Amino acid sequence: MLHPFPHQRESGQPIVELKNVTAGYEGQAVLSEVNLTIMPGDFVGFLGPSGSGKTTLLRTILGATRVFSGHAQVNGKRVDRRRSLAGYVPQLETIDWNFPVTVGEVVMMGHTRGNPLFPWHRQADWRTARATMERLGIADLEDRHIRQLSGGQQQRAFLARALVSNPSLLLLDEPTRGVDIKTRDEVMHLLHELNHQGVAIAMTTHEINPVAAYLPWLVCIKGQIVAEGPPSQVISPEILHLTYGAEMPVIEYEGMTLVAESPHHFGRNGNRKASANGNGRAPEPVTGHGHSHHGEAADHGHPVGAHGASGAD
């Protein structure tokens, strides 16, 4: 089981503060009028269909997008890629796994400050890199080529790179995408542990039942912030319709709010009347739904409008 409660929300200065931020890329605003606050110790999930701007929101916090208007601050300073204070774990699909580096070298890349020209800095950096690998249980993989890692080990290696500079905020882009169920649960446990050690976490996902429903706080995104709140409030047919542009019935199951997928019927008996959903039974995606690879309800035809529209995911 995951920790039922998030790390206690702390008071004080926000880590992230976006005020009326309109941001995107050269000549194209992707996010408009975004207001968002992340406090120390928060654990936030950014939920939305492909192309809704989840990655762009993470990159805005990193200072890696164009901010057209509004104020974007991290730890009280304007976001700036050159002195980013957040650790970032990109989507694993975007990484070139044939790039000839070892796990240890990947983790060392997370040292953004310090001067690599001075050997004593480098020795100190290796010490923290090893301590971080130890913390994530991958110390024995230090000399392994990144191509030789399992999905869970890949995720840990890049988590270590993000954590090595000891950031107060960790940003993760779809950390559970494309991994099997066991790895997904491992990754989520690890993130909850880190959160309980005081690291604020913001992660994107478009997996509602297996991921978002377990997070303490969700922010629904579709080019802007559609809604935010705990899953019990945000996972509602109205908000999901606004976010995904599709009908998504919602049920309560063992105290959790989950999406009951509209029944899909393909093939010979495809037009048989469905009876599996909507009558208080557990929706199939909770347990062995079968689409074990991605596992997300949202990938199964719901966000029709948004899917395929960008190819950016």
Ligand X SMILES: Nc1ncnc2c1ncn2[C@@H]1O[C@H](COP(=O)(O)OP(=O)(O)O)[C@@H](O)[C@H]1O
Residues at the contact surface with ligand X, assessed by CB under 6 A: 25, 28, 30, 48, 50-56, 310, 312-313
48 binds, among Mg ion, ligand X, none (CB under 5 to 8 A by kind): ligand X
User: Mask: binding to Mg ion, 90-119, rule CB under 5 A, as x and -?
Assistant: ------------------------------
One character per residue 10-49, x = contact with Mg ion (rule: CB under 5 A): ----------------------------------------
**Cα–Cα distance, 301 to 206 (Å, whole number):** 13
Residue 104's nearest CA partner among 138, 66, 155 is: 138
By CB under 5 A, is residue 55 in contact with Mg ion?
yes
At which residue do the structure tokens 């019935």 appear? 249
Task: For Mg ion, give the closer residue by CB, 54 or 161.
Answer: 54
Q: Which is nearer to Mg ion, 125 or 313 (CB)?
A: 313
Residue 25, contacted partner among Mg ion, ligand X, none, CB below 5-8 A by kind: ligand X
State the binding partner of 51 from Mg ion, ligand X, none, CB within 5 to 8 A by kind: ligand X
| Terminal alpha carbon distance of the chain | 29
Cβ distance to ligand X smaller for residue 30 or 286? 30
For ligand X, which is the closer residue by CB, 8 or 310? 310
Asked whether position 56 contacts Mg ion by CB under 5 A, the answer is: no
Shortest gap between Cβ of 190 and ligand X (angstroms)? 22
Q: Tell me how far, at minimum, the Cβ of 310 lies from ligand X, in Å.
A: 4
Chosen from ligand X, Mg ion, none, partner binding at 56 (C-beta under 5 to 8 Å by type): ligand X
Structural contact between residues 187 and 207, judged by C-beta atoms closer than 8 angstroms? no
Stretch that binds Mg ion, among 1-9, 36-44, 52-60, 148-156 (CB under 5 A): 52-60
**What does 196-248 look like in DSSP terms, one character per residue?**
HTT-EEEEEE--TTTTGGGSSEEEEESSSEEEEE-HHHHSSHHHHHHHHSS--
Does 205 contact Mg ion by CB under 5 A?
A: no
- What b/e string do you get for 32-62 counting C-beta neighbours within 10 Å, with b at 16 or more? bebebebbbbbbbbbbbbbbbbbbbbbbbbb
Of 15 and 23, nearer to ligand X (C-beta) is 23
Order of all β-strands in the sheet with 225-229: 86-89, 169-172, 200-205, 43-47, 217-221, 225-229
CB 24 within 8 A of CB 68: yes
Shortest Cβ distance from residue 88 to Mg ion (Å)?
13
Q: What is the DSSP letter of 127?
A: H
CA dihedral 241, 285, 42, 137 (to 10 degrees): -150
By a kind-dependent CB cut-off of 5 to 8 A, residue 303 interacts, out of ligand X, Mg ion, none, with: none
* Residue 60 within binding range of Mg ion, rule CB under 5 A: no
Please tell me the count of residues contacting Mg ion according to CB under 5 A: 3
Assess contact for 298 and 210: CB atoms under 8 A.
Answer: no
How many H-runs (helices) and E-runs (strands) does the chain carry?
Answer: 7, 12
Judged by the rule CB under 5 A, the positions of this chain that interact with Mg ion are 54-55, 313
